[in-house]
Amino acid sequence: MEMHRYPSGTGEAVYREKGSRFLAFVFPVSTEEQVKEHIQRLRQEHPQAVHVCSGYLLDLHKGQGRAHDDGEPSGSAGRPILNKIYSHDISNVLVAVVRYYGGIKLGVPGLIHAYKTAADEALTLAGVVEKEAEFSLQMRFAFDKEGECTSWVKRFRGQWLQRTYTHEVNWLVSFPLSVQAEVLASPLFGVEISDPL
Protein backbone atom coordinates (compact mmCIF):
# COMPACT_ATOMS: atom_id res chain seq x y z
CA MET A 1 0.00 0.00 0.00
CA GLU A 2 1.49 3.33 -1.07
CA MET A 3 1.41 5.90 1.73
CA HIS A 4 1.57 9.68 1.23
CA ARG A 5 2.05 12.52 3.69
CA TYR A 6 -0.67 15.18 3.84
CA PRO A 7 -1.22 18.24 6.04
CA SER A 8 -3.18 17.24 9.14
CA GLY A 9 -4.86 20.66 9.16
CA THR A 10 -4.27 24.33 8.52
CA GLY A 11 -1.31 26.26 9.86
CA GLU A 12 -0.33 29.92 10.19
CA ALA A 13 2.95 31.64 10.95
CA VAL A 14 4.31 35.20 10.91
CA TYR A 15 7.86 36.21 9.98
CA ARG A 16 9.12 39.80 10.27
CA GLU A 17 12.12 41.29 8.49
CA LYS A 18 13.07 45.01 8.35
CA GLY A 19 9.49 46.16 8.81
CA SER A 20 7.98 43.73 6.30
CA ARG A 21 5.55 41.11 7.60
CA PHE A 22 5.19 37.73 5.95
CA LEU A 23 2.01 35.89 6.94
CA ALA A 24 2.16 32.22 5.92
CA PHE A 25 -0.93 30.03 5.59
CA VAL A 26 -1.13 26.26 5.00
CA PHE A 27 -4.28 24.72 3.51
CA PRO A 28 -5.05 21.08 2.69
CA VAL A 29 -6.23 21.07 -0.96
CA SER A 30 -7.14 18.47 -3.57
CA THR A 31 -7.78 20.58 -6.68
CA GLU A 32 -6.49 23.67 -8.43
CA GLU A 33 -9.95 25.19 -7.99
CA GLN A 34 -9.53 25.01 -4.21
CA VAL A 35 -6.10 26.63 -4.56
CA LYS A 36 -7.62 29.55 -6.50
CA GLU A 37 -10.40 29.97 -3.94
CA HIS A 38 -7.95 30.19 -1.02
CA ILE A 39 -5.71 32.69 -2.86
CA GLN A 40 -8.69 34.84 -3.82
CA ARG A 41 -9.99 34.84 -0.24
CA LEU A 42 -6.56 35.87 1.11
CA ARG A 43 -6.46 38.77 -1.36
CA GLN A 44 -9.89 39.91 -0.14
CA GLU A 45 -8.91 39.56 3.52
CA HIS A 46 -5.59 41.41 3.05
CA PRO A 47 -6.29 44.25 0.61
CA GLN A 48 -3.30 46.28 1.87
CA ALA A 49 -0.81 43.47 1.20
CA VAL A 50 1.56 43.96 -1.72
CA HIS A 51 1.98 40.27 -2.64
CA VAL A 52 0.29 36.91 -2.12
CA CYS A 53 2.93 34.40 -3.19
CA SER A 54 2.35 30.67 -3.18
CA GLY A 55 3.47 27.15 -3.81
CA TYR A 56 1.32 24.04 -3.98
CA LEU A 57 1.57 20.36 -4.74
CA LEU A 58 -1.31 18.02 -5.58
CA ASP A 59 -1.18 14.24 -5.95
CA LEU A 60 -2.45 14.63 -9.49
CA HIS A 61 0.69 16.67 -10.39
CA LYS A 62 2.84 13.54 -9.95
CA GLY A 63 5.40 15.39 -7.81
CA GLN A 64 5.55 18.49 -10.00
CA GLY A 65 4.43 21.41 -7.86
CA ARG A 66 3.44 24.90 -8.92
CA ALA A 67 4.95 28.17 -7.69
CA HIS A 68 3.82 31.79 -8.10
CA ASP A 69 5.92 34.89 -7.29
CA ASP A 70 3.01 37.37 -7.64
CA GLY A 71 5.22 40.25 -8.71
CA GLU A 72 8.25 39.51 -6.53
CA PRO A 73 11.55 38.99 -8.41
CA SER A 74 11.49 35.69 -10.31
CA GLY A 75 12.35 32.73 -8.11
CA SER A 76 12.47 34.76 -4.89
CA ALA A 77 9.10 33.74 -3.39
CA GLY A 78 7.12 30.90 -4.98
CA ARG A 79 10.12 28.61 -5.51
CA PRO A 80 11.40 28.89 -1.90
CA ILE A 81 7.86 28.15 -0.66
CA LEU A 82 7.57 25.12 -2.96
CA ASN A 83 11.00 23.86 -1.91
CA LYS A 84 9.80 23.84 1.70
CA ILE A 85 6.80 21.75 0.66
CA TYR A 86 9.22 19.29 -0.95
CA SER A 87 11.49 19.25 2.13
CA HIS A 88 8.49 18.44 4.35
CA ASP A 89 7.65 15.61 1.89
CA ILE A 90 3.98 16.55 1.83
CA SER A 91 1.36 16.77 -0.91
CA ASN A 92 -2.20 18.01 -1.45
CA VAL A 93 -1.10 21.23 0.20
CA LEU A 94 -1.11 24.95 -0.57
CA VAL A 95 1.24 27.34 1.19
CA ALA A 96 0.42 31.01 0.57
CA VAL A 97 2.48 33.86 2.02
CA VAL A 98 0.95 37.32 2.28
CA ARG A 99 3.53 40.14 2.36
CA TYR A 100 3.05 43.55 3.87
CA TYR A 101 5.88 45.82 2.71
CA GLY A 102 7.77 47.61 5.46
CA GLY A 103 9.54 50.28 3.42
CA ILE A 104 12.98 48.66 3.17
CA LYS A 105 13.94 46.49 0.21
CA LEU A 106 15.23 43.06 1.24
CA GLY A 107 16.93 42.04 -2.00
CA VAL A 108 16.53 38.62 -3.55
CA PRO A 109 18.53 36.72 -0.87
CA GLY A 110 16.49 38.41 1.87
CA LEU A 111 13.21 37.60 0.12
CA ILE A 112 14.18 33.95 -0.37
CA HIS A 113 15.04 33.66 3.33
CA ALA A 114 11.82 35.37 4.46
CA TYR A 115 9.47 33.34 2.25
CA LYS A 116 11.08 29.98 3.00
CA THR A 117 11.24 30.68 6.75
CA ALA A 118 7.57 31.71 6.92
CA ALA A 119 6.53 28.67 4.85
CA ASP A 120 8.62 26.30 6.96
CA GLU A 121 7.12 27.54 10.25
CA ALA A 122 3.53 27.30 8.95
CA LEU A 123 4.09 23.77 7.60
CA THR A 124 5.58 22.67 10.92
CA LEU A 125 2.57 24.06 12.79
CA ALA A 126 0.08 22.43 10.38
CA GLY A 127 1.48 18.98 11.09
CA VAL A 128 1.47 15.88 8.91
CA VAL A 129 -0.67 12.77 8.66
CA GLU A 130 0.24 9.65 6.69
CA LYS A 131 -2.56 8.15 4.63
CA GLU A 132 -2.91 5.78 1.76
CA ALA A 133 -2.25 7.61 -1.49
CA GLU A 134 -5.42 8.87 -3.16
CA PHE A 135 -6.74 9.92 -6.53
CA SER A 136 -9.72 12.16 -7.26
CA LEU A 137 -12.57 12.06 -9.76
CA GLN A 138 -15.20 14.58 -10.82
CA MET A 139 -18.70 13.09 -11.14
CA ARG A 140 -21.65 14.75 -12.93
CA PHE A 141 -25.12 13.24 -13.09
CA ALA A 142 -28.87 13.88 -12.85
CA PHE A 143 -30.58 14.07 -9.46
CA ASP A 144 -32.29 10.69 -9.85
CA LYS A 145 -28.88 8.96 -9.93
CA GLU A 146 -27.76 10.26 -6.52
CA GLY A 147 -28.68 7.14 -4.52
CA GLU A 148 -26.90 4.82 -6.94
CA CYS A 149 -23.84 7.10 -7.02
CA THR A 150 -23.71 7.33 -3.21
CA SER A 151 -23.63 3.52 -2.96
CA TRP A 152 -20.96 3.34 -5.66
CA VAL A 153 -18.73 5.88 -3.86
CA LYS A 154 -19.11 4.08 -0.52
CA ARG A 155 -18.35 0.70 -2.08
CA PHE A 156 -14.88 1.94 -3.07
CA ARG A 157 -14.25 3.81 0.23
CA GLY A 158 -14.57 7.19 -1.48
CA GLN A 159 -14.57 10.50 0.41
CA TRP A 160 -16.53 13.52 -0.78
CA LEU A 161 -14.31 16.58 -1.21
CA GLN A 162 -16.94 18.83 -2.75
CA ARG A 163 -20.65 18.58 -3.61
CA THR A 164 -22.43 21.10 -5.84
CA TYR A 165 -26.11 21.02 -6.74
CA THR A 166 -27.36 23.14 -9.67
CA HIS A 167 -29.41 21.79 -12.59
CA GLU A 168 -27.38 18.60 -12.05
CA VAL A 169 -25.24 17.05 -9.31
CA ASN A 170 -21.48 17.66 -9.39
CA TRP A 171 -19.23 15.81 -6.93
CA LEU A 172 -15.51 15.75 -6.37
CA VAL A 173 -14.58 12.46 -4.71
CA SER A 174 -11.26 10.99 -3.59
CA PHE A 175 -10.58 7.25 -3.52
CA PRO A 176 -7.67 5.15 -2.21
CA LEU A 177 -5.13 4.63 -4.98
CA SER A 178 -5.25 0.87 -4.33
CA VAL A 179 -8.78 0.67 -5.82
CA GLN A 180 -8.16 2.89 -8.85
CA ALA A 181 -8.27 0.04 -11.39
CA GLU A 182 -11.56 -1.28 -9.92
CA VAL A 183 -13.14 2.18 -9.84
CA LEU A 184 -12.24 2.94 -13.44
CA ALA A 185 -13.40 -0.51 -14.57
CA SER A 186 -16.90 -0.12 -13.10
CA PRO A 187 -18.58 2.80 -14.87
CA LEU A 188 -22.02 4.03 -13.92
CA PHE A 189 -24.61 4.39 -16.67
CA GLY A 190 -25.57 8.03 -17.20
CA VAL A 191 -22.75 9.40 -15.03
CA GLU A 192 -19.95 11.52 -16.48
CA ILE A 193 -16.67 10.80 -14.69
CA SER A 194 -13.47 12.73 -15.36
CA ASP A 195 -10.23 13.80 -13.72
CA PRO A 196 -10.58 17.05 -11.74
CA LEU A 197 -9.46 20.25 -13.45
Q: What's this model's pTM, rounded to 2 decimal places?
A: 0.76
Predicted pLDDT at 196: 66
The span from the CA of 40 to the CA of 38, in Å, is 5
Q: How many domains does the chain have?
A: 2
DSSP tag of 192 = E
The span from the CA of 163 to the CA of 1, in Å, is 28
Within this chain, do residues 109 and 20 fall inside the same structural domain, yes or no?
A: yes
Within this chain, do residues 8 and 67 fall inside the same structural domain, yes or no?
A: yes
Q: Which domain holds residue 177?
A: 133-194
Amino acid sitting at position 38: H
The span from the CA of 46 to the CA of 40, in Å, is 10
Q: Which CATH number covers residue 184?
A: 3.30.70.240
Within this chain, do residues 114 and 187 fall inside the same structural domain, yes or no?
A: no
Within this chain, do residues 68 and 156 fall inside the same structural domain, yes or no?
A: no
Give the HSE-up count for residue 115: Cα atoms under 13 Å, Cβ half-sphere. 36
Within this chain, do residues 172 and 122 fall inside the same structural domain, yes or no?
A: no
Within this chain, do residues 67 and 16 fall inside the same structural domain, yes or no?
A: yes
Within this chain, do residues 14 and 56 fall inside the same structural domain, yes or no?
A: yes
Within this chain, do residues 38 and 119 fall inside the same structural domain, yes or no?
A: yes
Within this chain, do residues 115 and 188 fall inside the same structural domain, yes or no?
A: no
Within this chain, do residues 157 and 124 fall inside the same structural domain, yes or no?
A: no
Per-residue pLDDT of the chain (197 residues; tens, 9 = 90+): 677 888 999 999 999 999 999 999 999 998 888 999 999 999 999 999 999 999 999 876 667 899 999 999 999 999 999 999 999 999 999 999 999 998 889 999 999 999 999 999 999 999 999 888 788 899 999 999 999 999 999 999 998 988 999 999 999 898 988 898 999 888 788 888 887 65
